[in-house]
Amino acid sequence: MNRYLTAASAALAIFAFTAAPSAADTIRVLNWQGYGTDEDWSLEMFEEKTGHKVEHEYFNSEQEMLTKLRTNPGTYDVVLINSAFTPQAAKEGLIVPIDTAKIPNAADLTPEMRNNPNLVIDGKTYGVAWVWGATSFAINTEKFDKAPETIEVLWSGDFADKVGWRDDAVEAVQMAAIALGQDINNPSDLDAIREKLHALKPQIRTFWTSENDWNQYMSSGEFDVAVYWSGSASRSANNFGLPVEFVVPKEGAIGWLDGLSVPKDAPNTDAAYEFINWMIDPEFYVKWDTDVGAPASANAKAMAGLPEDAFNRTVLGNSAVTSKLKFMGPIEDDMREKMLELWQETKTFYQK
Amino acid sequence: MAVSTTASGGAGRANSPTRAVVLLTGPAYVWLTIAVLLPLLAMFYFSFLTEAPIAGRVGELTLEQYREFLEHGFYTTLILRSLKLGATVAFFCFLLGFPCAYVLAKTIKGRWREALFLLVIIPFWSNALVRVFSWTMVLRGNGLLERSIDFVIPGAGSLGLMFTYPAVVIGLVHSYLPYMILTCYISLQAIDDDLIEAARSLGAKRLTILRRLILPLAMPGIVAGAVLIFVPVIGSFMEPRILGGRHGTFIGTIIEDQFTAVFNWPLGAALSFILLACVLVIFALFAPVLKRAA
Amino acid sequence: MAAAGRIYLGLVLVFLYAPILVMAAMSFNDSQLYALPVKWSLRWYADLAGNQRLIDAGINSIVIAMITTVIAGTLGTAAALAFFRYEFRGKRLLQILLFPPIAIPWLITGTAMLLFFFWTGIGRGLHAMVLGHVALALPYVIIVVAARLKAFDPDLEAAARSLGASPWQVVRYVTLPFLAPGVVAAALFAFAVSFDQFVISYFLAVPGVSTLPVEIYTSIRKGFTPEINAISTIVIVSSMALLIGVTRFYRFGGDR
């Protein structure tokens, strides 16, 4: 009897397995998890408008994203690339120029973002400016009387073993560069940065790898203060109700602009364009930021649609804050290698 | 392995054994060649290249990857750390698992033994990854363990076990303990009860019996268990990543990074072969013990 | 002494099962951030039913494990028979060649497969995972079947032959029935090796085609959903049921 049952379920399984292949208009998006493109309500609206379904693959770091593009050619239709990495991806031939005429909403993008030199190379658009924000740190407001003014709080003995960090070479080096007042894209004194990072050893509780990780560690009290992204901080506060405040300290913060690109040999370019168009649509953005929490949009119309008191208008709209942002730019190959090596060496140092 | 000559001799066809051997073993070994041996050879070749010759790149022959290893002391540190992790996990599995196997094999009888044995083996059948993950819920700050300790001793405070080296060890011991219990159980079961009885009646102390009789006879099981645990543990990367946090950097995580993130396959290959060489050296050092065990 | 031993065994069982039980409890917890005390809910199971990705991955895992079981079982049994029946040159070498899949860390085998399959154009995906899983399971099958063969009395075959049985009939009516329990055990082993295999699958998975362990790991690393607790609980409960079922069947229906 049991055997018939197993045989039957096996047959069923094989049937379901062969029946699995998806419809033609399914596009595959490569992004961070929980970063706008994969909101259920948005995908439902998109499917209603265009009939296209959207599947997702995720990465944990820009390095991993690039390797996924290298080793899975012809798989993805849309990929989110931090504009600092767009030139590298374009140079390696991983992404192709985008015909912005087919993306109506692109006309509403703030010109300096649309034409950002990292996104537009030799007059060709390799990435459509999507959202921008800051990488700095966020605090648990229950553990602070008032928000700290300096990045040195990450190195403060008061928060030993209570700091959350991200296991990412470029981000780690750039945070240290901010603390030391060095150029984040081409730091002059790597030894000082190494020393600064080594000094974090007693501070770091653990590395977080995803927003979800971050939220759990914050809510369980593992972190008091942790490196974070501006859009994610508003999600943690809005969506998860955590007592979290994003801090842009006096030393400054890392600024970034994320773009949406189309990989080489994307199976469904037209649907990819439609999806990118939807992603920069004010209708999507306003709902995303209001209901969930998002970084600032590159679309001027979308920003105008936000309520007056939105974080993205009060904080990121404030020139006193934005003037403190140091924007990520392309990093030379040998500098990137040095950063990777420095970070690996530092992580080994943390083990001792 | 005892082999009967009468069985093959009786068939009577002179050239058939060779054909039969080829037919019987051929498919399995062709498979192993394609899926394991050739990939290992390819990896060895890659470890001498400047770049992985894929995705339109061209690799040139070089010793750069091995030089990279020698130039940076931290790779050696991480390899030693991984080897230490393997030894620690194997040791604790033995410490926990051997008495457990002994109780199962020698003091519990009948249906109970079977039921308990099954209970020990079942986790081995469930997913290792899931089991490692389940520890995060037990060990995390304000998680189950801290709450229950707090319940017994109020105000005992935070253990801070999560994201430490011990957390990685606990998770790995939990994953691999059934291997040790299984292999020890098999070899302990083969020991004749009368032998132990005889030693006891001759006045041997319990400890002496354990040391002089049971441990040596159970050695094959212990060694097999230790090898089965040590080998995968030194290459582990997902357990340290999930449980180790800041303390979770090992050679395994670095090698994985080379393949999935940094895209430096030749360096990943070189590090893999250096690690493999370490395994072989350790096996060679322990060869006398291993041989006695087998 | 005996009582102490039993208590010890009990403690080890607590160690083995406590985290699994915690996870099962959390799969019924309404809070996504695992807030305690547990507020009971079936919402993650309901979500799971709608998570096509996890379901597909689960089906892939089962299919791969079944194909692996059949192929590794057949090839491995054949090889074990050859080792048992024949003395030949190179036999020792062949036996040594069984060790690499066991004695090399999976991380190394897995990355080697990734690199070789990618380089040669064999590619990754389901077929590659089957290639890898069978190779991993083969040595176990050969060893388990060979262990059973050790207990085989060749005189039985000789007797059958002397009674006029053809070589095929000898295998069909004497050797195979004796071997059956060993083959069943080996098949179970192969299934478990494949179903539990994470590392090899991880390196050979392609977007859209992965297995349950890979999907679970990806979820843990890239943003966890408590649906993972739900599916893990289902996997553990069903593998328990399956194993208990198999041992019962094995006892009452199979041997002797």
Instruction: Mark whether A226 and A169 lie in a shared domain.
Output: yes
Query: What is the pLDDT, as a whole number, of residue A196?
Result: 95
In angstroms, the separation between the Cα of residue A227 and the nearest Cα of chain B is 14
Mean residue pLDDT of chain C comes to 83
C2-17 per-position pLDDT tens digit: 678 888 888 888 888 8
In a domain, A70, yes or no: yes
In angstroms, the separation between the Cα of residue B40 and the nearest Cα of chain C is 5
Instruction: Mark whether A141 and A127 lie in a shared domain.
Output: no
B80-95 per-position pLDDT tens digit: 999 999 999 999 999 9
Q: Write down all domains in chain B, each with its CATH number in brackets.
A: 66-293 (1.10.3720.10)
* Average pLDDT, integer, range B17-42: 88
- Evaluate if residue A349 carries a pLDDT over 80: yes
Cα–Cα distance, A217 to A223 (Å, whole number): 6
pLDDT confidence band for B143 (50 / 70 / 90) = low
Query: What is the pLDDT, as a whole number, of residue A41?
Result: 92
* Average pLDDT, integer, range B162-189: 87
CB < 8 Å from C in window 72-101 of A? 72, 75-76
Instruction: Mark whether A225 and A282 lie in a shared domain.
Output: no
Mean residue pLDDT of chain B comes to 82
3-state secondary structure A212-249: HHHHHHHHCCCCCEEEEEHHHHHHHHHCCCCCEEEECC
Query: What is the pLDDT, as a whole number, of residue C1?
Result: 55
A187-227 per-position pLDDT tens digit: 999 999 999 999 999 999 888 888 888 888 888 888 999 99
Higher pLDDT, A154 or B111: A154
* Average pLDDT, integer, range C234-253: 70
Structure tokens at B254: 């670095």
Q: Cβ of A348 and B77 within 8 Å?
A: yes
Q: Best residue in B127, B142, B291 to probe C by mutation, most C CBs within 10 Å?
A: B127
A168 part of contact set with chain B, CB < 8 Å: no
In a domain, A208, yes or no: yes
Rounded (10°) angle between helices B265-285 and B64-71? 70
Mean pLDDT highest for which of A13-27, A131-145, B142-156? A131-145
pLDDT confidence band for C128 (50 / 70 / 90) = very high
In angstroms, the separation between the Cα of residue C28 and the nearest Cα of chain A is 18
Query: What is the pLDDT, as a whole number, of residue A13?
Result: 47
Specify the DSSP class assigned to residue C206: B
Structure tokens at C78: 């054949």
- Evaluate if residue B35 carries a pLDDT over 80: yes
In a domain, A12, yes or no: no
Q: Cβ of C235 and B130 within 8 Å?
A: yes
* Average pLDDT, integer, range C29-55: 77
In a domain, A11, yes or no: no
In a domain, A66, yes or no: yes
* Average pLDDT, integer, range A86-104: 92
CB atoms within 10 A of CB A162: 18
Q: Best residue in A161, A222, A334, A336 to probe B by mutation, most B CBs within 10 Å?
A: A222
CB < 8 Å from C in window 8-47 of B? 8, 10-11, 17-18, 20-21, 23-25, 27-29, 31-32, 34-40, 42-43, 46
- Chain B partners within 8 Å of A66 (Cβ): 263
In this complex, which chains have at least 3 CB pairs below 8 Å with chain B?
A: A, C
In a domain, A35, yes or no: yes
B103 part of contact set with chain C, CB < 8 Å: yes
Instruction: Mark whether A205 and A334 lie in a shared domain.
Output: yes
Contact pairs from chain B to chain C, CB under 8 Å: 274
How many folded domains does chain A comprise?
Answer: 2
A55 part of contact set with chain C, CB < 8 Å: yes
In angstroms, the separation between the Cα of residue B131 and the nearest Cα of chain C is 7
Higher pLDDT, A188 or B55: A188
Instruction: Mark whether A166 and A187 lie in a shared domain.
Output: yes
Specify the DSSP class assigned to residue C97: T
A7-38 per-position pLDDT tens digit: 544 444 444 444 433 444 789 999 988 888 98
Instruction: Mark whether A46 and A175 lie in a shared domain.
Output: no
Instruction: Mark whether A248 and A261 lie in a shared domain.
Output: no
Q: Write down all domains in chain C, each with its CATH number in brackets.
A: 1-41 (no CATH), 52-254 (1.10.3720.10)
Q: Cβ of B129 and C20 within 8 Å?
A: no
Mean residue pLDDT of chain A comes to 87
Residue closest to C117 by CA, chosen among C102, C128, C127: C128
B284 part of contact set with chain C, CB < 8 Å: no
pTM, two decimals, is 0.85
Cα–Cα distance, A31 to A39 (Å, whole number): 12
Angle of CA points A8, A9, A13, to nearest 5°: 120
Q: Cβ of C221 and A60 within 8 Å?
A: yes
Structure tokens at C70: 């059949």
Q: Cβ of A33 and C34 within 8 Å?
A: no
B219-251 per-position pLDDT tens digit: 888 888 898 899 889 999 989 988 888 888 899
Q: Torsion angle, CA of B104/B108/B109/B115, rounded to 10 degrees?
A: -60
pLDDT confidence band for B151 (50 / 70 / 90) = low
B157 part of contact set with chain A, CB < 8 Å: no
In angstroms, the separation between the Cα of residue B2 and the nearest Cα of chain A is 36
Instruction: Mark whether A102 and A225 lie in a shared domain.
Output: no
In a domain, A189, yes or no: yes
Instruction: Mark whether A335 and A218 lie in a shared domain.
Output: yes
Instruction: Mark whether A334 and A298 lie in a shared domain.
Output: no
Least confident of A90-99, B151-160, C62-71, C181-190: B151-160
Residue closest to A82 by CA, chosen among A66, A101, A58: A66
- Evaluate if residue B200 carries a pLDDT over 70: yes
- Chain B partners within 8 Å of A93 (Cβ): 56
The contacts of residue B73 (CB under 8 Å, 6+ apart) are none
Instruction: Mark whether A221 and A346 lie in a shared domain.
Output: yes
- Evaluate if residue C113 carries a pLDDT over 70: yes
* Average pLDDT, integer, range A78-100: 93
- Evaluate if residue B127 carries a pLDDT over 70: yes
Cα–Cα distance, C167 to B256 (Å, whole number): 51
- Evaluate if residue B265 carries a pLDDT over 70: yes
Higher pLDDT, C36 or B38: B38
Instruction: Mark whether A121 and A245 lie in a shared domain.
Output: no
Angle of CA points C12, C18, C21, to nearest 5°: 140
- Provide the CATH number for the domain around residue A77: 3.40.190.10
Query: What is the pLDDT, as a whole number, of residue A17?
Result: 42
Q: Cβ of C223 and A75 within 8 Å?
A: no
In angstroms, the separation between the Cα of residue B261 and the nearest Cα of chain A is 4
Residue closest to A192 by CA, chosen among A175, A202, A177: A177
In a domain, A298, yes or no: yes
- Evaluate if residue A4 carries a pLDDT over 80: no
Cα–Cα distance, B112 to C76 (Å, whole number): 33
Least confident of A224-233, B209-218, C108-117: B209-218
Query: What is the pLDDT, as a whole number, of residue A3?
Result: 46
In angstroms, the separation between the Cα of residue A134 and the nearest Cα of chain C is 21
- Evaluate if residue B176 carries a pLDDT over 60: yes
* Average pLDDT, integer, range C83-92: 81
Contact (CB, 8 A) for C108 and B57: no
Cα–Cα distance, A54 to A50 (Å, whole number): 11
Alpha helices (H) in chain B, listed in sequence order: 5-9, 16-32, 38-46, 64-71, 73-102, 110-125, 128-139, 144-152, 165-189, 193-201, 206-208, 215-234, 238-239, 251-260, 265-285, 287-293
Contact pairs from chain A to chain B, CB under 8 Å: 64
Query: What is the pLDDT, as a whole number, of residue B155?
Result: 58
- Evaluate if residue B2 carries a pLDDT over 50: no
Domain that holds residue A47: 23-132+256-317
* Average pLDDT, integer, range A113-132: 92
C66 part of contact set with chain A, CB < 8 Å: yes
Query: What is the pLDDT, as a whole number, of residue B141?
Result: 62
Kind and range of the H or E run holding A138: strand A128-140
- Confidence check on the interface: ipTM exceeds 0.95, yes or no: no
